[in-house]
Amino acid sequence: MTSTAPPVGIVMGSDSDWPTMRAAAVALDEFGVAWEARVLSAHRTPRVMLDWAAAAAGRGVRVVIAGAGGAAHLPGMVASATVLPVIGVPVPLAHLDGMDSLLSIVQMPAGVPVATVSIGGARNAGLLAVRILGASDPELARAMERFQAGLAESVAAKDTALAA
């Protein structure tokens, strides 16, 4: 098994999730973190999903971002088949405003964690993946420090503008 995969794997239950999930890829691009994206359905292609999850760590993936909508079992099932950290993104569909997706992903049984972000929160999923990688990558951690400083500056600028 070769370790040539990008450090972040973005998986989703359908290509219809991509308009939501691409925000994770954009965040990773901003930090120069490479990623791969796959459509893997817990219900429609369960064996392909489990094979990908089981092989991911050996291929060099370090963090998984998994998004799904509705009966959103993909993040939890991927987490059951890998030791890698899995970040779950509840994708909002036409009904129930994404609450179904959120509850499907966040209520994991003890022993099988999924770090769930907000409904549609794929950008934060990408940023969380950067932080996880930054724990063992000082350069990436410094880039996150600069990013956070930029956030603070943008709030300070708004504060100054309102106070003027």
Residue number, 12 or 56, with CB nearest to ligand RP5? 12
In this structure, what token pair is assigned to residue 154?
Answer: 């943008």
Non-local (6+) Cβ contacts of 37 within 8 A are 9, 10, 11, 12, 18, 21, 25
Q: CB under 6 A: which stretch of 6-14, 26-34, 79-87, 112-120 binds ligand RP5?
A: 6-14
Q: Quote the CA–CA distance of 8 and 62 in Å, as a whole number.
A: 6
69 lies in the site for ligand RP5, by CB under 6 A: yes
124 lies in the site for ligand RP5, by CB under 6 A: no
Are 36 and 6 in contact, with CB atoms under 8 Å apart?
Answer: yes
16 lies in the site for ligand RP5, by CB under 6 A: yes
Residue 160 vs residues 32, 133, 151, 152, 163: alpha-carbon distances, Å? 32, 34, 14, 12, 5
75 lies in the site for ligand RP5, by CB under 6 A: no
Find the residue with minimal CB distance to ligand RP5. 13
90 lies in the site for ligand RP5, by CB under 6 A: no
Q: Among residue numbers 34 through 53, which ones bind ligand RP5 (CB under 6 A)?
A: 41
**Residue 85 Cβ vs ligand RP5, minimum distance, rounded to whole Å:** 20
Are 24 and 136 in contact, with CB atoms under 8 Å apart?
Answer: no
131 marked as part of a ligand binding site: no
In this structure, what token pair is assigned to residue 83?
Answer: 């030791």
Kindly list the residues in this chain that would bind ligand RP5 in the complex (CB under 6 A): 12-14, 16-17, 41, 68-70, 91, 93
Residue set of the binding site for substrate: 14, 17, 44
Residue set of the binding site: 14, 17, 44
